[in-house]
Amino acid sequence: MTRPTRRWTALGMVLATAALTSCTTGSEGAADTSRVRVAVTADATSFDPARGNVAADYQFARLTHDTLVRSNPEGETVPGLAASWEESPTEVEFTLREGVTCSDGTALDADTVAAALEYLASPDTGSSITGNVFGPGEPEISSDTDAGTVTVTLESPWSGLLPGLSSAQAGIPCTTDPEELASGGAPGTGAYTLTDSQRGSEYTFSLREDYDWAPDFGTRGSFPETITFQVIENESTVANQMETGQIDYAAFTGADSARFDPGEYTVVSRPTVFMFLVFNEREGRPGADPRVREAVARSVEPDAFRNAVTSEAGTLLNTVVPADFRCALDDASLLTETDPDAAAGILGDVEMSLVGTNAIAGGSGNEYVRAALAEAGAQIDLRNVDNATWGTEVLGAEGDWDVTVMAALNPSGTLTPTMSLLTGPPPPDGRNFGAVDSPGLTEGFQSAMSSVDTGEQCAAWQDAQRAMLEGHHAVPLSSVDVSWVMAEHVSATVFPTGVEISTLRITD
C-alpha cells in the first residue's frame, strides 16, 4: 500500500474557535442550568444517522453517534473517533482513539467501526450520502482489531472521503440492525442517548457519564445533563416561549430573531440556508422539458424572492452555493433574465405541483414562487409542508411533485454536498432527488471529485456549474441567514455556517 505524504494526529493540533457567552437573560424566573431546551420546527424523519435527510435528523445524529473525523471552525479535518489517519488518493487508514465505549458499555473496536462504514456504503441501506462519501463504485473496508485500525479503499480517487466522513450522516453506531437504529435505541458513540421520544412533541437526550472524547472546539462550560427538543412549528410561538424562559436555544429564519436584544441573549447570525429551484426531471413530468425549466427561470425574480423570505437580509446567489465557497462560479451573466411575458408562451398550458418546506420563514418563498408562476400562466398547486414531510416526499423522492424550493444546508464550505443533490442515481440509490440528467454536470462533478489537483478541481467544478445553469437544472435564488438565540446559561461554538448542536454547553 502506498503511504501518503501527510499525517494528522490529535497531538499538537491547534483549534481556532469562537466561544459564545452572554451576560444576562430576558427570561422570567430562574433557569434550570442542568439542561438545555431546544426548539425545532419539524420532526425528524429517522434516528438512523445514515438515513437522515433533514435538519432534525442531523442534530439528533450529532448527539448520539460520533464520526471518525470532524471539521473544525477553520474548515480543517480534525480527529474524532479516529486519533489519526494516513491518506492517499484512493485509501485512508484510520487509527482509532483509545478508551472509546459504546453507550451500552462495550468497548468500541475496529470491527464495529468497519461494520458501521459497510452499513453506510451498502446499497441496501439506501443512505443519501453513500456516493458523496465513497465516490463511484463500492469501497473495500477492512479492520485490524489488534492494531485498532480501519482501512477504506476506494475504486478510484475521491476527494470527498474525509469531508463526507465528517458529516452527521456518517456517525458511527455500535450496531447495524436497521430496526434498532430506526427506533433510536441503538447503542452509539456520541455524548447522549435518546431517553424519551414523543413523535410530534418532544425528544429528550441524556448525557452519558463515561463520555470524555469530544473534539476540543473551545466551547466554555459543561455538558448539559439533558437536551430536550420540543417540536414547535411556528417561529413566533418559539420566540414567545424563549422570552418566558420555556426554551433556551432556538434557530430563527424569520423576523422573530429581532425580538432578542444581544445584550440580554446570545444572538449569532450566519448565512446558512441556500435556496434554489429544482425540478422533477423524470419522464412525463413538466421539468423533463428544458423549455419549461427555462420558462420557470424567466418567471421568478431572485431579488423579489429574497424580499419575500428575508426582507433583503439574504444574499443573492449566482450558483447553488455562496460566492466565497471554494470553486464557486460567481458569474451573474450566466443567470437567466426574468421575462414573465416570454415565460407565458410556454407555461400557459402547464400544470405543476410545487411542494416546499415551511421551515424557512413559514414557507413565504414557496408562496412567492407560486404567485410568480401563476402570473406567467402556469396552473400551480402549492403544498407548504413541514420539513419532515418535505424530506420524505421531495428529498426522498416518495411524493408527487414537479418543482421545489430547495433549502440546502451545507456547512462544509465546499460544492460537494450541494452539487451531489443534482447528479448521480436518484433515491434510494443516490441523492439526485430530481433525477437530473445533465451529462456536462455529471462529467464535471466526477472530474472534480477524482482529481487531487486543486486547479483541476476548480476547473471541473466550474464546468459542472455552467452545465447546471445553462440547462436550467437549478435556478439560484438567495441565501437565508439563520439566527441562533441562546439564553444566559447556554454557550456554543460558532462555525462559518452557524452553531453546532454538539457544542452546546452550560456556562459556569
Write the CB contacts of 423 (distance below 8 Å, at least 6 apart in sequence).
432, 436, 438, 441, 442, 445, 464
Against a cut of 0.95, is the pTM above it?
no
Cα 367 to Cα 298, 315, 354, 371, 415: the distances in Å are: 17, 19, 9, 6, 28
CA distance 429 to 420: 12
Tens of pLDDT, residues 43-62: 888 999 999 988 889 999 99
CATH at 369 = 3.10.105.10
Domain count, the chain: 1
pLDDT recorded at residue 16:
27
pLDDT recorded at residue 132:
82
CA distance 119 to 134: 12
Torsion sign over Cα 338, 342, 346, 347: positive
pLDDT band at 33 (very low <50, low <70, confident <90, very high): low
pLDDT recorded at residue 6:
34
Does 254 or 122 have the greater pLDDT score?
A: 122
Across 196-210, average pLDDT = 95
pLDDT at residue 294 is higher than 90: yes
Q: Within a domain: residue 451?
A: yes
- Is the Cβ–Cβ distance between 373 and 406 less than 8 Å? no
pLDDT recorded at residue 22:
35
CA distance 292 to 298: 10
Write the CB contacts of 377 (distance below 8 Å, at least 6 apart in sequence).
343, 344, 347, 348, 349, 350
Closest CA relative to residue 448, chosen from 430, 475, 433, 467: 467
pLDDT band at 21 (very low <50, low <70, confident <90, very high): very low
Across 246-254, average pLDDT = 92
pLDDT recorded at residue 227:
97
pLDDT recorded at residue 201:
93
Closest CA relative to residue 430, chosen from 178, 43, 125: 125
Write the single-letter amino acid at 465.
Q
131 CB burial (10 A radius; 0-12, 13-18, 19+): buried
CA distance 380 to 373: 7
pLDDT recorded at residue 32:
58
Q: Within a domain: residue 361?
A: yes
Q: Within a domain: residue 153?
A: no
Tens of pLDDT, residues 419-458: 999 998 898 878 899 999 999 999 999 999 888 788 999 9
Whether residue 428 is preceded by a cis peptide bond, meaning omega within 30 degrees of 0, is yes
Across 330-342, average pLDDT = 94
Per the prediction, the chain carries an average pLDDT of: 90
Write the single-letter amino acid at 472.
H
> For 355, which DSSP code?
E
Cα 173 to Cα 81, 210, 329, 351: the distances in Å are: 12, 17, 37, 44
pLDDT recorded at residue 80:
97
CA distance 427 to 326: 27
Q: Within a domain: residue 375?
A: yes
Q: Within a domain: residue 318?
A: yes
Instruction: Indicate the pairing of strand 140-144 with strand 192-198.
Output: unpaired
Helix axes 364-375, 290-299, angle to 10 degrees: 110
Torsion of the alpha carbons at 44, 115, 75 and 404, rounded to the nearest 10: -40
- Residue 91, all three cell numbers: 485509501
pLDDT recorded at residue 23:
35
pLDDT recorded at residue 339:
95
pLDDT recorded at residue 316:
95
**Residue indicated by cell numbers 439566527:** 483
Percentage of the chain surpassing pLDDT 90? 71
Range of the structural domain that residue 411 is part of: 272-480
pLDDT at residue 246 is higher than 90: yes
Closest CA relative to residue 476, chosen from 489, 466, 490, 463: 466
Tens of pLDDT, residues 63-117: 999 999 999 988 889 999 999 999 988 999 999 999 999 999 999 999 999 999 9
Q: Calculate ∠ Cα 368-395-311, nearest 5°.
A: 25
Q: Within a domain: residue 71?
A: no
- Is the Cβ–Cβ distance between 314 and 479 less than 8 Å? yes
Q: Within a domain: residue 81?
A: no
Binning the chain into helix, strand and coil, the percentages to the nearest 5 are 30, 25, 45
The full DSSP string for 120-178 is HH-TTT--TTHHHHH-SSPPEEEEETTTTEEEEE-SS--TTHHHHHTSGGG--BS---H
Across 14-35, average pLDDT = 42
Q: Within a domain: residue 235?
A: no
